[in-house]
Amino acid sequence: MGTENFRKITIITGHYGSGKSTLAANIALKIAETSAAHSTAADTSAIVTVVDMDIVNPYYRTSDLKAIFEKKGVKLLSPMYAGTNLDTPILDYDISGIYEDGGYLVIDMGGDDAGAYALGKFAEFIKEHLEETDILCTVNFCRGLTDSPAEALENLREIEAACRLKITGLANTTNLSYETNKEVILRGVEKTKELSRISGIPVKLTAVTRLSACEELIKSGIDGEKIFPVDILIKNIWE
């Protein structure tokens, strides 16, 4: 999957621990890598900006990847006090200004409806640019409270109500971290298909972790699925 598969604004939301930040980071890095190969230094359309709106989880967030982003030319905006022990969410982002500067926006939301409330502040701007926006809901069917399509749908609807926007695509991020294998991914594929059926929301991609146990899927693909390989970039706090 290259930049042609992503719109100018990609918003990642979903359940706590579903893989939102990992997916957001990998999408941003993929867009930056692809754009760099087909642009000039003065081409603002190649700029990728990651906006960290995760105000609920201080442990797994895109703000922790600042060094990686800088190396790849990805800009990062994070909440004031991110990376400190102060739990004071301040989201004073000029989203419209960033958009007008050109390039791609990847927005990493906090988990569940609590994390999605922050996006409501920018709902009117997003509605004005819906044709250029994807709002992806990550679904990890290995997580409690969303281990069935029905539970995942309930979580998805709560997120929509909180941010006052409709999810436009599903991102199957079913994984067990380093224990992820082919069987885990394929179970997630089937459950995501069922979630798509009962929700009416199309599946945008299936994220497959770059591990030896998943190499076969990345090479051969899965019929009808858009495979998006991802690296585990955000480590556990004890690693």
**Structure confidence at residue 100 as a pLDDT band (50, 70, 90):** confident
Could you give the CA distance from residue 219 to residue 30 in angstroms, rounded to a whole number? 17
239 compared with 153, residue with greater pLDDT: 153
Is 109 contained in some domain? yes
Is pLDDT of 90 > 60?
Answer: no
Could you give the CA distance from residue 232 to residue 234 in angstroms, rounded to a whole number? 6
Is 206 contained in some domain? yes
Q: What is the pLDDT of residue 2?
A: 57
Largest CA distance in the chain: 48
Could you give the CA distance from residue 75 to residue 51 in angstroms, rounded to a whole number? 9
Structure tokens at 221: 């693909």
**Structure confidence at residue 168 as a pLDDT band (50, 70, 90):** very high
What residues does 11 pair with on adjacent strands? Answer: 107, 135
Residue ranges in 82-223 assigned as alpha helix (H) = 95-100, 112-116, 123-128, 149-163, 182-199, 215-220
Tokens 């199309």 — which residue? 202
Domain count, the chain: 1
Is 90 contained in some domain? yes
Is pLDDT of 83 > 70?
Answer: no
The 8-class DSSP code of residue 110 comes to P
- Average pLDDT of span 5-20: 92
Is 7 contained in some domain? yes
Structure tokens at 206: 């299936």
CA atoms within 13 A on the CB side of 56: 19
Is pLDDT of 84 > 50?
Answer: no
Is pLDDT of 82 > 60?
Answer: no
Q: What is the pLDDT of residue 65?
A: 83
Q: What is the pLDDT of residue 221?
A: 94
Is 113 contained in some domain? yes
Is 238 contained in some domain? no
In the chain, count H helices and then E strands. 8, 8
- Nearest alpha-carbon partner for 174 in 147, 150, 199, 153: 147
Is 205 contained in some domain? yes
Contact 207, 186 (CB under 8 A): no
Q: What is the pLDDT of residue 102?
A: 81
Is 239 contained in some domain? no
- Average pLDDT of span 91-96: 75
Contact 153, 170 (CB under 8 A): no
User: What is the pTM for the complete model shown?
Assistant: 0.89
- Average pLDDT of span 49-64: 71
Could you give the CA distance from residue 146 to residue 143 in angstroms, rounded to a whole number? 6
Q: What is the pLDDT of residue 118?
A: 84
The b-or-e profile of 176-189 (16+ CB within 10 A means b, else e) is: eeeebbeebbeebb
Domain region containing 188: 3-230
Helix 182-199 crosses helix 149-163 at what angle (to 10 degrees)? 60
Q: Which residue type is seen at 75?
A: K
Q: What is the pLDDT of residue 103?
A: 87
- Average pLDDT of span 142-153: 95
Mean pLDDT taken over the chain: 86
26 compared with 84, residue with greater pLDDT: 26
Q: How far is CA 77 from the centre of its chain?
A: 15
Q: What is the pLDDT of residue 58?
A: 54
- Average pLDDT of span 228-239: 75
**Structure confidence at residue 210 as a pLDDT band (50, 70, 90):** very high
